[in-house]
Amino acid sequence: MCKEYKTPIYSILAGILITLITGLFPNVFLLGVSYWGYFLPWLSKVAYPGATLNVKWVNLFVNIVIWSVLLYLAIVSIEEDKAKKPIRKRKRKA
């Protein structure tokens, strides 16, 4: 795999993983409907026994994009920070 594609692929995969993990945590409960997922709630269920889960596909894909972009920016900033050489102080002659 080319090194130039490594960071975007990792950030997309991590964005998908984080989005799916956020589906485990409740977000909002309004008028008998429970929602899961952050930043946008992408999974909902009416609060009665036997109700099915409804996936809001647009919110799911938007969450994947948001998390992927945030992770890409974090990875790039960490890589750039590692690439910088530390500044050496000159020793003073006494």
**What is the structure's pLDDT at 31?**
84
> For residue 48, what pLDDT is reported?
85
pTM, whole model, 2 decimals? 0.79
Question: Do residues 68 and 76 make contact, with C-beta atoms less than 8 angstroms apart?
Answer: no
- Cα–Cα distance, 58 to 62 (Å, whole number): 6
Residue 91 tokens, joined:
């020793």
pLDDT digits (tens, 9 = 90+) for 43-86: 998 888 888 989 999 999 999 999 999 999 999 988 888 777 66
**94 pLDDT tier (thresholds 50, 70, 90):** low
Distance CA 19, CA 11 (A): 12
pLDDT of residue 87: 66
CB 54 within 8 A of CB 42: no
